[in-house]
Structure 1
Amino acid sequence: MADNKKKRGGSDRALIALKEPYEVRYWCKKFKVTPAKLKAAVKAVGRSSRKVEAYLKFQKQKDRDRALIAVSQPYELRYWSKKFKVTAAKLKAAVKVAGRSSKKVALYLSAQKKPRKKKKAKKAA
């Protein structure tokens, strides 16, 4: 978008001007991000809207991948089994049933756990 109203060429429209509040609002709405994330993206890759858009898509994909459980990776098996307090075999079975999403696996495992009955203390006579 144009920083200077007299300068409305195509090259200026493709740049993001963080000093202009209306531009920040426009680009935040377009990319569906907060102003802070937009500023961080511009700082990381520059003012080009194409580069910023590609960077933000990559970040969203990266966040999505973090929430998935890769059973084929031993370090991930250790991490998730420790986090959910189950064995690796139980985790693999849960992933097979519920899918790779960590949220779905957590829900599945919490539904599988049975509440333990409290033991009654015997009175000594």
Structure 2
Amino acid sequence: MRKALRYAARGTGLGAVAYLIMMAIQPSYALASVRAIASLLVLSATIGVVSLIFDSERLTFPVALIIHLCVTLLLVFVRQIYLGSVPSSPLIFLVTFGLIYVGIWVVVMTTRHLQVTEINRALAKRNQRDL
């Protein structure tokens, strides 16, 4: 349960950042209603929880990624329907979704790389001290 809450919080943070970027690119997003913002937070937290799939030892990373991508796409589309803003152009919707998805993955992977590098640096320092 605790792990799911952590993933939900991370998802919410990433969703908020993605939404702020969308506001910067397309200012009409800044005129969002409380309903739109609340649904974004729920969506982001849900996607964060869905990200627990990457901790599964039964699935390979590519399979988990495809499942995550499909579930995320479905959740985003359901949110669009909920808000009554079904995309007029499926191609533009998919391209925008894809760019955002890849952008968030770049952030996640960079963050993980920096964390692993810091842990390795601390371990190397401790190992030198122990010699």
TM-score normalized by the length of structure 1: 0.24
Higher relative contact order (CA 8 A, sep 6+): 2
The structure with the largest alpha-carbon Rg is 1
Bigger share in helix: 2
TM-score normalized by the length of structure 2: 0.23
